């Protein structure tokens, strides 16, 4: 295999190697704060290679373009911000730094693969890498019951949504004979709309709705956000959500664009329901983290309007919305961490 064909994968390869170094660094580094600094340097090195990695690999399975690059910078920025707000939290909870930061990095690698996936199989693999890391991070505070409960709920419901995604991919493959997103788009121009094809769209939409917390697939969000460590809640509310939108945009606006008259009404209904549920229920909350969870749900309803609108303007509005949302949301959770101490949680209104 020609090594030049791996050039689009350089950022992911670099971050993987550096994540392994961070994982092992706790064995030799005594000052725990240094591990956080090492993580930030690792992210900066990865970001340096992204603009130079445009192209495709493995026959179009992996695509590095302007769309994926924008999302990768969102992922890496959210990772840096999470590292910055995590140091104080890890000190209070006396948790291992190396495992924590490396899991954040592996989760980010999964997101980067999701954003660059030109094939549904690679998209699924990236999603699982991201999800498995966040399952562990949600229950990272092992001595706390709420954290363990959040991890278990997230794992069970996440596994269910992954199964739905696989069913959708299976049905779509049965109808088109391929899992390549661009080939699916060209194949659908020559095919009539059938019931199995519509079922595949429904399954895919349900799976992505779970990942980005669209109502009524949002039920896991308040409990998981409340129980997970606050720094991880901040990360989960931005990184995985943006990765879900990146995948949703590429699959539905490229691969399933020929069926937009079929899936657009469904997405409009989900958007309206999500905005209503998120905003109305957020008002009733006494827990700040649950309130921010419902706020995150409502914001997903707003952001998905960009996918509904479609076109360059719709996609760019969604991307800009997620960029601003990242700073806003992590900033809100960082305030909760600043109020946190060994005896005071600062999470109740």
- pLDDT in the model for residue 341: 56
pLDDT in tens, the chain (349 residues): 566 677 889 999 999 999 999 999 888 887 777 888 899 999 999 999 988 778 888 888 999 999 999 999 999 999 999 999 888 777 766 677 888 999 999 999 999 999 999 999 999 999 999 999 999 999 888 777 788 888 888 999 999 999 999 999 999 999 999 999 999 999 998 888 889 999 999 999 999 999 999 988 888 899 899 888 888 999 999 999 999 999 999 999 998 999 988 899 999 999 999 999 999 999 988 888 899 999 999 999 999 999 999 889 999 999 999 999 999 999 988 888 887 655 555 566 5
Burial 219-245 (b: 16+ CB within 10 A, else e): ebbbbbbbbbbbbbbbbbbbbbbbbbb
- pLDDT in the model for residue 57: 86
- pLDDT in the model for residue 267: 94
Is-contact 246 191, C-beta < 8 A? no
Domain range summary for the chain, segments of one domain joined by +: 3-339
For 195-226, give the DSSP string.
Answer: HHHHHHHHHHHHHHHHHHT-TTS-THHHHHHH
- pLDDT in the model for residue 348: 63
- pLDDT in the model for residue 340: 67
- pLDDT in the model for residue 102: 93
Residue 297 CA to residue 281 CA, distance in Å, equals 10
- pLDDT in the model for residue 88: 76
Query: Among 43, 241, 219, 229, which residue's Cα sits nearest to residue 127?
Result: 241
């Amino acid at each position: 295999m020609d090594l030049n064909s791996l050039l689009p994968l350089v950022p992911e390869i670099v971050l993987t190697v550096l994540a392994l170094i961070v994982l092992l660094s706790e064995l030799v580094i005594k000052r725990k704060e240094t591990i956080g600094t090492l993580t930030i340097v690792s992210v900066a090195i990865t970001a340096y290679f992204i603009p130079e990695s445009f192209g495709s690999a493995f026959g179009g399975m992996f695509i590095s373009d302007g769309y994926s690059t924008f999302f990768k910078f969102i992922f890496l920025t959210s990772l840096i911000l999470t590292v910055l707000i995590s140091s104080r939290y890890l000190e209070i909870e006396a948790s291992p730094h190396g495992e924590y930061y490396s899991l954040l990095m592996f989760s980010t690698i999964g997101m980067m693969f999701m954003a660059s996936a030109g094939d549904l199989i690679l998209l699924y693999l990236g999603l699982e890498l991201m999800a498995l890391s966040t399952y562990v991070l949600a229950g990272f505070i092992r001595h706390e019951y709420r954290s363990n409960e959040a991890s278990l709920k997230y794992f069970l419901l996440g596994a269910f949504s992954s199964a739905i995604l696989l069913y959708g991919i299976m049905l779509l493959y049965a109808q088109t004979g391929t899992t390549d997103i661009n080939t699916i788009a060209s194949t659908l121009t020559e095919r009539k709309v059938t019931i199995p094809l519509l079922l595949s769209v429904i399954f895919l939409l349900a799976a992505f709705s779970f990942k980005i917390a669209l109502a009524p697939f949002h039920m896991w969000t308040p409990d998981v956000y409340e129980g997970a460590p606050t720094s991880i809640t901040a990360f989960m509310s931005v990184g995985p959500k943006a990765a879900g939108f990146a995948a949703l945009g590429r699959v539905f606006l490229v691969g399933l664009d020929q069926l937009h008259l079929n899936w657009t009404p469904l997405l409009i209904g989900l958007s309206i329901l999500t905005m209503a549920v998120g905003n109305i229920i957020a008002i009733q909350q006494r827990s700040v983290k649950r309130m921010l969870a419902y706020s995150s749900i409502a914001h997903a309803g707003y952001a998905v309007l960009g996918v509904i609108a479609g076109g360059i303007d719709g996609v760019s509005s969604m991307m800009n919305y997620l960029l601003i949302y990242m700073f806003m949301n992590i900033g809100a959770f960082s305030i909760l961490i600043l109020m946190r101490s060994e005896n005071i949680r600062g999470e109740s209104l």
